[in-house]
Amino acid sequence: MQVKKKAASAVPIRARKGAIHRFFVYFARHPLLYLMLIPGLFFLCVYKFWPLYGIQMAFRKYSLFAGNNPMDSIAKSQWVGWKNFNKLFNSSQFSLVVSNTLIINGMKILFLFPLPIICAILLNEIRRATVRKTLQTAIYVPYFFSWVMIFGIFYSLLGSYGPLNSAIVALGGERVRFFTDTKWFRWLLVFSEGWREIGYNTVIYMAAIAGVDQVLYEAAKVDGAGKWKQIWHVTLPGILPTIVLMLILKVGYILDTGFEQVLIFYNPTVYSVGDIIQTYVYRLGMGKMDYSQSTALGLFNSVVAFVLIVGANTVSRKTLHRSIW
């Protein structure tokens, strides 16, 4: 017993020493590999980790000129504890932007999530490869466009004097102001998001369908299954892991998506339905120069988003044995 215990305690120490030794041996043999890491780590430290240090602005009354430079000013600003957060949580804007974020992104998941799955299944039914490729190429053209370009296109189509409104008027209706009407604005976001993303997501599901074992289809055919039964019993179960993974990702990133789209599409008349957490963070910080409040809201968003994403990844790893990273 005692011998065993001794051995057990001795091994880790020797192993640790061995590991450090082995590291230096390896380092001496492959110094260039470590040299290669430097550019990436440099950018990582400066642009990803240094801003993390700036998070303490959320607990301070930040004053831009307290130090020698903006980052130096952070440590020299007055510490106020949770004051910024109290002010934030008590403001009516806070609950508004949180609920807008959840409603808009929830609508997007609810209405847009199933569409690319259906498209991919249908696309897979087209036997002529050239037609299939052409259609696939056409439906994800919009994914290459920036949100500003999409805004321009939609503004042209749905603007007060665009073809859609002309058609509405011709049919005896009244002009709809899609960009300034609070009733329509969220739908505009959902629709334009769908226009941009459906083709892209279809390609993802197409790849998943291509991975389904062809033998299963043969077997189903032998058993007398028609096309619909094959889709229901072979294709769908085959791509279910991808579907679940995509859904988990969408829910995990529910607080982090749609920022640039909303920033470009919205205007003060639709703040009540379109203002989301990140656009508010932006206006607080860059517009009102209330840096500390903005950082506090950003931190709140990051913490909740972090919990959601790690939670989503845990679910994905447990159920599908797949990790996001």
Partner 1 sequence: MKAKTLSPEKDKKNINHIPMDASEKVAEIIAYVVLVLLALMAILPCLHVISKGISNGTAVAAGSVIFWPVGFQVEAINYVFTRTAFFTSLKNTLIITVVGTAIAMFTTVTTAYPLSRSDFKGRRFVTLLYVISMVFFGGIVPAYMVVKTIGILDTYWACILPFAIVQFNMFIVKNYFEGLPTEVEESASIDGANDIRTLWSIILPMSVPVLATVALLYAINYWNNYFHVMMYTSSASMKTLQLYLYDIINNSAAITESLYSTSFEGTNYAQNITTEGLNAAAVSMSLVPIIAAYPFVQRYMISGITVGSVKG
Of 69-108, binders to partner 1 (CB under 8 A) are: 69-72, 74
Footprint of partner 1 on residues 190-209 (CB under 8 A)?
A: 195, 198-200, 203-204, 207-208
CA distances from 15 to 2, 29, 102, 123, 234 (A): 20, 20, 50, 56, 50
Footprint of partner 1 on residues 276-295 (CB under 8 A)?
A: 278, 281-282, 285-286, 291, 294-295
**What is the contact mask toward partner 1 in residues 241 to 260, using x (rule: CB under 8 A)?**
-x---x------------xx
E strand or H helix at 183: none
> What span, in angstroms and rounded, lies between the C-alpha atoms of 315 and 320?
8
Residues contacting residue 172 through CB under 8 Å, at least 6 positions apart = none
Q: Does residue 217 bind partner 1 (CB under 8 A)? A: no
Q: Using CB under 8 A, which of 94, 140, 184, 253 touches partner 1?
A: 140
Token pair in block for residue 15:
């192993």
Q: 169: phi > 0 → left, psi -120 to 50 → alpha, else beta; which?
A: alpha
> What span, in angstroms and rounded, lies between the C-alpha atoms of 104 and 107?
5
Residues contacting residue 315 through CB under 8 Å, at least 6 positions apart = 248
Q: Using CB under 8 A, which of 65, 81, 161, 172 touches partner 1?
A: 161
Token pair in block for residue 103:
């409603």
Footprint of partner 1 on residues 32-71 (CB under 8 A)?
A: 32-34, 36-37, 39-41, 43-44, 46-55, 57, 69-71
User: Minimum Å distance from CB 43 to partner 1?
Assistant: 5
- Closer Cβ to partner 1, 34 or 79, answer by number: 34
CA distances from 203 to 41, 138, 246, 249, 324 (A): 33, 12, 13, 17, 19
User: Minimum Å distance from CB 252 to partner 1?
Assistant: 10
Helix (H, G, I), strand (E, B) or coil at 162: coil
User: Minimum Å distance from CB 186 to partner 1?
Assistant: 20
User: Minimum Å distance from CB 163 to partner 1?
Assistant: 5
Token pair in block for residue 72:
């130096």
Of 8-16, 92-100, 105-113, 228-236, the segment contacting partner 1 by CB under 8 A is 228-236
- Closer Cβ to partner 1, 103 or 303, answer by number: 303
- Closer Cβ to partner 1, 5 or 48, answer by number: 48
78 pairs with which residues across the strands?
61
> What span, in angstroms and rounded, lies between the C-alpha atoms of 57 and 125?
55
- Closer Cβ to partner 1, 98 or 203, answer by number: 203
Q: Does residue 224 bind partner 1 (CB under 8 A)? A: yes
Q: Does residue 268 bind partner 1 (CB under 8 A)? A: no
Burial pattern 265-290, b for ≥16 Cβ within 10 A else e, equals: bbeeebbebbbbbbbbbbbbbeeeeb
Q: Does residue 166 bind partner 1 (CB under 8 A)? A: yes
Q: Using CB under 8 A, which of 15, 23, 213, 237 touches partner 1?
A: 23
Q: What's the CA angle centered on 277, arms 274 and 282, to 5 degrees?
A: 95
Contact between residue 108 and residue 193 where contact means Cβ atoms under 8 Å apart: yes
Q: Does residue 223 bind partner 1 (CB under 8 A)? A: no
Of 6-14, 75-83, 93-101, 135-143, the segment contacting partner 1 by CB under 8 A is 135-143
- Closer Cβ to partner 1, 110 or 286, answer by number: 286
Token pair in block for residue 290:
């209330």
Of 8-16, 77-85, 97-105, 158-166, the segment contacting partner 1 by CB under 8 A is 158-166
Helix (H, G, I), strand (E, B) or coil at 60: strand
- Closer Cβ to partner 1, 3 or 32, answer by number: 32
